[in-house]
Amino acid sequence: MATSDILFFSGIIVLSLLIIALLYQRKKWKEAQIELDLSTLVERQDWQGVRRILRKQLWEWGTLSVLVTIGLAYCITINYRVLFVLISAGFIYYHLYQDVKLYITICHSEKQTKEYRKITSDSDKLLADFKDFMDCPCTMLSAEADGEDMMKIFMQTLERGRKEGFWPLLIYVRTENLSGMVAQMKIKNEDRNDLRAYRKKMLNYPLPDARKLFDRWLNECISANKDSSKDWQKEIIGEPTEVELGTTFLIDNSFDGRLLLAEVPVKEPWQLLTWCPCEVLNPPISATQNTAVAKYLYEHYKVIPAFIDYQLIDFIPLEPIPGNEIEQLTLDLFSYCPDWIYQDFFNLSNGKKMIKDGKIWSMLWSDTLPYDD
């Protein structure tokens, strides 16, 4: 080969390498610019702009993938430079795969953002509705707070309330709680004037005799247990076993929501359940019956309602219960909330231990009666 030919081909090779180097540098610059643009748009949550850039990339690499696929098929047909074309195709396919994967991720993130915005919007509206319903000073707490810290905050607020003239109450910001309380009030809407009129009326409304309620409910429990062939002495009274006593509020840590600490302007602690009538469906207990029970517990034992949720009331004993009154109180609470024994403490002997040593008495009603078959 002549020297001139060698120089010519060398020049072609050098020129080709320079062109490839320049194109590669431009490609790297363009990729860096696209990455920067995408990061900025994602930070702003401008999903339309992100999708516009990615669709352009998908179009470019998709077109190249179609062309290289056609070229690969042709090369395979004539058996010409198949390996080289296959490597080139693999490079292009990989880029297309990365862009498709990124596009799917972005679409998923956009959907999650829209759902989060909707949930946040709904949650903010629910919180505003809840505060309107409470119609008293409220402090929002994290539902993921430690139970002991929550107890400490509550007791500090309780002490302050005795000086300032209110009783504290913890309540979850849940749709079920709000709708349940409105249903108990039997008012047509949640208008503040209607709420105030209801509360003014019911705070002075005559309450049923709690002693008679306990006796009636206990007879119903005894009758139901006979019908279900339960052994009263063995299965209901039972023998003491190892059980976990309530030391903090029954906080649902799995619930990603809000918890309000309300400063309710009522004179007596049992009136908390008139201000916020907790819904109990099974067995059905009315707002006045709940309030009557709370009044009885406070007047006889200095026990107050402290935390309510859907079909849940947590009571706190402010003073130790006299030993000679524990057995009767255990029966009273069992008649009021059978699930307290059936699902939490399994028998009345364990229930006595809770009344004697527990810091929190959690009355949680299930959706079905425990003795239903």
Distance (Å, rounded) from C-alpha 338 to C-alpha 366? 10
In this prediction, residue 372 carries a pLDDT of 46
- The residue among 215, 225, 249 whose CA lies nearest residue 347 is 225
Cα dihedral 327, 332, 338, 340, rounded to 10, equals: -60
Q: Are 306 and 249 in contact (CB under 8 A)?
A: yes
pLDDT at 180: 86
Closest CA to 364 of 313, 290, 292: 313
Sequential DSSP letters for 254-285: T--SEEEEEEE--SSGGGHHHHS---EETTEE
Q: pLDDT value at position 328?
A: 94
Residues 37 and 39: their CA atoms lie apart, in Å, by: 5
Single pTM value for the model: 0.66
Residue 286 CA, chain-centre distance (Å), reads 27
Task: Say what the pLDDT of residue 121 is.
Answer: 39
pLDDT digits (tens, 9 = 90+) for 296-313: 999 999 999 999 988 889
> For residue 65, what are the CA distances in angstroms to 73, 99, 293, 350?
12, 12, 76, 72
The pLDDT of residue 168:
97
Q: Return the pLDDT at 109.
A: 65
CB-based contact 249:314 (threshold 8 Å)? yes
Q: What is the pLDDT of residue 159?
A: 96
The residues of the chain scoring below 50 in pLDDT are 1, 20, 116-121, 369-373
Place of tokens 């194109």: 23
